[in-house]
Amino acid sequence: MIHRRIVPISKNSHLKLMNGTNNVSSNKTLSVLTYNMLSPYYMWPQVYTYVPDKFKDWNYRHKLLEYELFYKHKADILCLQELTTEDYNQFWRKQMKRRLSYGSNFISKPPPKYWTAGLQEMDGVGTFYNTEKLEFISSTVIYLNDFLSMFSKRELDWMSRRQITQTNGANDPVTTRSLLSILLDRNQVCLFVCLREKDTKSLIVVVNTHLYWKYDEVKLSQCLTIMRKLKQVINKLTTTLEGVTYSQIKIILGGDLNSTRDSLLIKFLNGNIITHGELNLQNSMRPFLSHNVYDSVPHGIFDNTCYSGKLKGIFDYIWFHERDFKLISVLSGKEVSEELSSTGQFGLPNEIHPSDHIPIFIEFEIL
């Protein structure tokens, strides 16, 4: 069996890894994990034909998830996606608090039109945090189809004119609709949790989201909505918390962005101006989010973060600013590709990996 390993990144950090484990010898460190857990209601039979029935079983997968999150990759901050409302309320919220004394916040997606299961089966995003190190300050949620007030009339007019060719599961064209109408129909969400790190007194806003899986311009518009909402969250913190200035606020963005590193969305987050006709779109939160984990790791540490049959790629990200955090170690991912290749497997989940995504785990030094 091939095991993922912790890889030291920063040669200049004065912090030393202890015995090659996830623990470091300083209160200035912070570990962060983002993980798409694969909701049991998205285990589509037509997609996961390569997975034996035993490994599709939710009880089997749940035990593996528990082992990963409670023991194997225990992080100070966890950003989880495809977490169902029922599972959050009945298990993770209670057990994270009982076993680890972790606090948490959650937002469920509104059900789409095709949804026939109950509201408790609907998934969303959940953020968990170590209350021994982090004090909860506030939380804010946003439904990404509730965006009209965040865009100018000129931008909305362009969205209403911009036509998107929609495709089916086989990627065949089906119909054409305006970008605006598609965005209004989408049910993605975003969760903002503000925490104070107890030792350094740093104020940290953790942003957790799971963007739609299709159409670059849809994902870009959803991300633009998040960045504009984040600006509002930061502004509110500076006006409601005594003595807090913009320079004291640090941002961590974790989530499944469903976007490869060369995509329009990642170019936008990297500060590139995206031009659409008369519109020039630029990330106003670039001063808070300059970097993602893959910018700092050696080439070849990750092949993919998603192994969903034919759909493979790096889709899961942790973003931050190098002024605020120094990346000191990362959990390598290439071993998963080596494991699948050596055993002749087509994708995940499998006997030891409960999701079609792998967890992204990193350790920071707080600057």
Per-residue model confidence (pLDDT) at position 255: 99
Task: Write down the mean pLDDT value for the chain.
Answer: 93
Per-residue model confidence (pLDDT) at position 112: 84
- The answer to whether the CB of 252 falls within 8 A of the CB of 32 is yes
Nearest residue to 11 (alpha-carbon basis) of 252, 348, 328: 328
Q: How confident is the model at residue 19 (pLDDT cuts 50, 70, 90)?
A: very low
Q: What is the pLDDT of residues 335-365, one digit of tens each?
A: 999 999 999 999 999 999 999 999 999 999 9
Q: What is the pLDDT of residues 269-320, one digit of tens each?
A: 999 999 887 788 899 999 999 999 999 999 999 999 999 999 999 999 999 9
Whether 71 has a pLDDT exceeding 70, the answer reads yes
Greater pLDDT, 184 or 113:
184
* Angle of CA points 67, 36, 103, to nearest 5°: 65
118, HSE (Cβ side, Cα atoms, 13 Å): 3
- DSSP code of 299? T
Greater pLDDT, 360 or 115:
360
Q: What is the pLDDT of residues 22-46, one digit of tens each?
A: 444 467 999 999 999 999 999 999 9
Per-residue model confidence (pLDDT) at position 11: 61
Fill in the amino acid letter for 246: Y
Per-residue model confidence (pLDDT) at position 332: 97
**Residues 6+ away with beta carbon under 8 Å from 304:** 312, 313, 314, 333, 336, 337
**Residues 6+ away with beta carbon under 8 Å from 323:** 290, 367
Per-residue model confidence (pLDDT) at position 118: 83
* Angle of CA points 34, 37, 42, to nearest 5°: 140
* Number of neighbouring beta carbons within 10 Å of residue 45: 8
* Angle of CA points 317, 311, 305, to nearest 5°: 30
Q: How far apart are CA 170 and CA 188, in angstroms?
A: 22
* Angle of CA points 215, 220, 224, to nearest 5°: 155
CATH topology assigned to domain 28-366: Deoxyribonuclease I; Chain A (3.60.10)
Domain ranges of the chain: 28-366
pTM: 0.95
- The answer to whether the CB of 124 falls within 8 A of the CB of 83 is yes
Nearest residue to 186 (alpha-carbon basis) of 109, 258, 125: 109
